[in-house]
């Protein structure tokens, strides 16, 4: 049996828990919007065509902020196509995903859906095919109270009051050659600077996210952030990061250590942003927006042909695209990625798991059918629910395992929070070990342990293997169960983590 000793201390904290860490992402891609969050005529659809079953799962997931409408999609998108009477909206070709966009769902629909879901909006603008003028105009349309052409047009289209969207992404993955309107760092840095200035002229209270590297593996990683921020530092509040992980050729050990790469990515971008701050003698710090992250099996995009949605030239309406079905191993990795984000909560203030429904998502839905939770739903939902108050520093002395990509890696991964108001500590554990359970001792320095209020584990179901997942016909197969044998007394917590598992323990504490 492997072992880990963990220490937390009341006086050693990182920051308050940023509630925007628990964000998600809705893109006009595949079935995320159409037959995902929006399906008029579905038995569970409300009067606006929003699926109530998906809304309920979104609330249960605990998503706090939703990035919209893309993603690669936004770099060829005209926001005006999604406003006004639906019957008058144009049908367009989306070159990013080679689909036909009906525009039946647009800005007004998303604002209404977000209000029903109880989520903040993170709106992305098109800096691929468009620029400064469209950027300032969408802010005026969305946020100006009235008395101008665009704000009055919003009222005419059904929303007299402003949308009051405060969080805006200045494009998407502009470093990527795959992006419509791809730019060099110099080109993008200047465009982001000028678009940001124009947007703030309309609404000075908005927050802006500049595009950082779409992967730490990009040839331009580091130099891209340096150049972009040199131009746009004064105009932006955040720089973005994107990362996806998958298991390659059965190398589960490296896959389970993916959070090591996320740690490196975050810390490298922080260092780059701070170097620009020092060189430019800026006062403020640029924080990070990890606004795309997840497990994604990038072996292909199409998952099913849908002949009834293909027009004569081969363009399709909302086809099934990258509808990965996640297993227990994926859920453990997602848990460690969440730990990495939380441990860096002093600088990572926003994070969006991509995406919310159907497209590499924690929620799956069937057209005219049910919606259900995937394995990766559970770590996200529990952390969004229980990670409150202050992030605690964790000192970990764990047995290690060797893997091809990262070498010696801790078997046990952990993050922790302390909510002084409720008097509760929440600890989020992952055991990366494929074969052995792990005995864990947690030293609670400065705390006196009381009642354990939550102890749950996601592990391999009995009689199954690590590839167990929730399918349409077995939706309850993988989920959270009670974690037995957890003991807390005085300044110590003890537990045993099953092999390949994710667990949460919440307990009441008193300060010593």
**476 CB-near residues (< 8 Å, 6+ apart):** 470
Catalytic residue numbers, as ranges: 173, 292
Calpha distance 241→233 (Å, rounded) = 16
Q: CB under 8 Å to 314, separation ≥6 — which residues?
A: none
Q: Identify the DSSP state of 17.
A: P
Sheet holding 492-497, edge to edge: 395-398, 2-9, 438-445, 492-497, 487-489
State how far Cα 235 lies from the chain centre: 24
| Residue 430 Cα distances to 257, 439, 483, angstroms | 11, 12, 13
CA atoms within 13 A on the CB side of 441: 10
What would the DSSP string read from start to end of 268-282? HHHHHHHHHHHHHT-
The pair of three-digit structure tokens given for residue 141, joined into one six-digit string: 């349309």
> What b/e readout covers 286-310, taking b as 16+ CB neighbours within 10 angstroms?
bbbbbbbbbbbbeeeeeeeeeeeee
DSSP 475-511: TTSS--EE----EEEBTEEEEEEPSSEEEEEEEEEEE
The rounded distance, in Å, linking the Cα atoms of 497 and 486 is 10
Structure tokens, 16? 């308050």
Closest CA to 24 of 47, 50, 54: 54
Contact 382, 338 (CB under 8 A): no
The two tokens of residue 211 are 């595009």
For residues 175 and 214, the answer to whether their CB atoms sit within 8 Å is yes
Q: Are strands 390-392 and 412-419 parallel, antiparallel or unpaired?
A: antiparallel
Region for residue 82 given its phi and psi (left: phi exceeds 0; alpha: psi -120 to 50; beta: otherwise): alpha
Provide the pairing of β-strand 65-68 with 412-419: unpaired
Say what angle helices 52-61 and 107-117 make with each other, to 10 degrees: 60
Cα–Cα distance measured from residue 112 to residue 117, given in angstroms and rounded to the nearest whole number: 9
Classify 50 as helix, strand or coil: strand
């Amino acid at each position: 049996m492997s072992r880990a000793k963990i220490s937390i201390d009341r006086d050693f904290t990182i920051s308050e828990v940023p509630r925007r860490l628990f964000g998600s992402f809705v893109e006009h891609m595949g079935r995320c919007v159409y037959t995902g969050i929006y399906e008029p005529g579905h038995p569970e659809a409300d009067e606006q065509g929003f699926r109530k079953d998906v809304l309920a799962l979104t609330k249960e997931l605990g998503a706090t902020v939703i990035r919209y409408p893309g993603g690669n999609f936004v770099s060829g998108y005209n926001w005006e196509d999604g406003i006004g009477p639906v019957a008058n909206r144009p049908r367009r070709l989306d070159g990013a995903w080679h689909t036909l966009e009906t525009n039946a769902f647009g800005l007004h629909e998303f604002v209404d859906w977000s209000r029903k879901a109880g989520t903040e909006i993170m709106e992305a603008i098109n800096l691929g095919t468009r620029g400064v003028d469209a950027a300032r105009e969408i802010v005026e349309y969305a946020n100006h109270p009235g008395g101008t052409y665009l704000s009055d047009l919003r009222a005419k289209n059904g929303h007299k009051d402003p949308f009051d969207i405060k969080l805006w992404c200045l494009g998407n993955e502009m470093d990527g050659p795959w992006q419509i309107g791809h730019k060099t760092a110099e080109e993008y840095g200047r465009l982001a600077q000028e678009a940001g200035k124009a947007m703030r002229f309309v609404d000075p209270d908005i927050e802006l996210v500049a595009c950082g590297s779409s992967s730490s593996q990009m040839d331009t990683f580091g130099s891209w952030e340096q150049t972009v921020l040199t131009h746009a530092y004064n105009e932006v509040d955040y720089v973005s990061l994107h990362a996806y992980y998958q298991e390659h050729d059965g190398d589960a050990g490296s896959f389970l250590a993916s959070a090591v790469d996320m740690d490196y990515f975050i810390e490298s971008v922080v260092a780059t942003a701070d170097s620009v701050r020092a060189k430019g003698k800026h006062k403020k710090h640029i924080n990070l927006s990890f606004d795309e992250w997840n497990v994604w099996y990038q072996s292909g995009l199409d998952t099913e042909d849908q002949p009834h949605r293909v027009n004569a030239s081969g363009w399709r309406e909302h086809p099934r695209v990258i509808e990965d079905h996640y297993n227990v191993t994926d859920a453990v990795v997602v848990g460690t990625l969440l730990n990495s984000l939380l441990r860096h909560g002093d600088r990572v203030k926003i994070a969006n798991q991509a995406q919310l429904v159907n497209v590499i998502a924690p929620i799956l839905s069937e057209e005219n059918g049910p919606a259900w939770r995937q394995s990766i739903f559970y770590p996200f939902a529990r952390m969004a629910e229980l990670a409150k108050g202050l992030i605690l520093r964790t000192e970990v002395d764990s047995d290690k395992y060797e893997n091809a990509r990262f070498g010696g890696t801790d078997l046990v991964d952990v993050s922790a929070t302390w909510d002084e108001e409720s008097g509760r500590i929440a600890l989020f554990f992952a055991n990366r070990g494929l074969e052995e359970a792990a005995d864990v001792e947690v030293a609670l320095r400065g705390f006196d342990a009381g009642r354990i209020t939550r102890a749950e584990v996601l592990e391999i179901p009995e009689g199954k293997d690590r590839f167990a997942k929730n399918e349409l016909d077995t939706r309850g197969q993988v989920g959270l169960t009670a974690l037995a044998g957890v003991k807390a007394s005085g300044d110590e917590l003890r537990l045993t983590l099953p092999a390949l598992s994710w667990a949460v323990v919440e307990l009441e504490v008193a300060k010593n």
